[in-house]
Chain A
Amino acid sequence: NAGVMQNPRHLVRRRGQEARLRCSPMKGHSHVYWYRQLPEEGLKFMVYLQKENIIDESGMPKERFSAEFPKEGPSILRIQQVVRGDSAAYFCASSPQTTTSNGYTFGSGTRLTVV
């Protein structure tokens, strides 16, 4: 069991480009969460998804950010027209049920740098 796999580990984008971050949950986990950690700040919730459904996107910026968790394949966090303020570490977590269940597991994160 490889755990929660995120790729790429590091991503550099120029302002205005698109960033795609991928997250493959642990086998058997149907709940995926994305969190963002801005430099020198704490982790903040972005979005919670189950297969083919966005359950809670209250932490997503209103523009340029989107997330999906298709029936087949990894969950994708997409940032369009990146700006310097998007530079952060983006962490994905998965669980078999909710955040109160055992087995809540984080990935290693994707560190996005916008130049």
Chain B
Amino acid sequence: KNEVEQSPQNLTAQEGEFITINCSYSVGISALHWLQQHPGGGIVSLFMLSSGKKKHGRLIATINIQEKHSSLHITASHPRDSAVYICAVPYLSAQKLVFGQGTRLTINP
């Protein structure tokens, strides 16, 4: 079993829809990262959070430390949001990140 599990693996939606991507992890952590990767592109850090909720524009990330679960929400989705979204957690001694397998999001106009 992977330490970090994401769902769904693939998600296709229409422009304007509300999007939710889930991440569950099995190790104790002090922070969780949400990352975005466009095809053939680099990796952009969207959020690092250790409790509660963070918002940046149309993106919202929440985390429940007790349940070991985090969600990434996108409101009023747009085709430019199409990308792979990855959650990652520091592992054990916090010297490295362990990644989920990613969620490939496609927003159709």
Contacts and interface: CB of A to CB of B under 8 A. Distances in A.
Contacts of B102: 42
B41 A56 contact: no
For B43, B48, B94, the residue with the greatest tally of chain A CB atoms inside 10 Å of its CB is B43
Nearest to B41: A108
Interface of A is mostly: strand
Interface string A33-60: 1010000001111001000000110110
Q: How large is the interface on A (under 10, 10 to 19, 20 to 34, 35 or more residues)?
A: 20 to 34
A104 B44 CA distance: 10
A35 B41 CA distance: 15
Interface stretch (B14-22, B28-36, B61-69, B71-79): B28-36
Contact of A100 (B30, B44, B45): B30
Contacts of B41: 108
Interface of A: 33, 35, 42-45, 48, 55-56, 58-59, 91, 93, 98-100, 102, 104-109, 111
B27 interface: no
Nearest to B33: A104
Given A42-B101, A42-B102, A45-B96, A99 B90 contact: yes
A107 B42 CA distance: 7
A89 to B, nearest CB: 9
Nearest to B91: A45
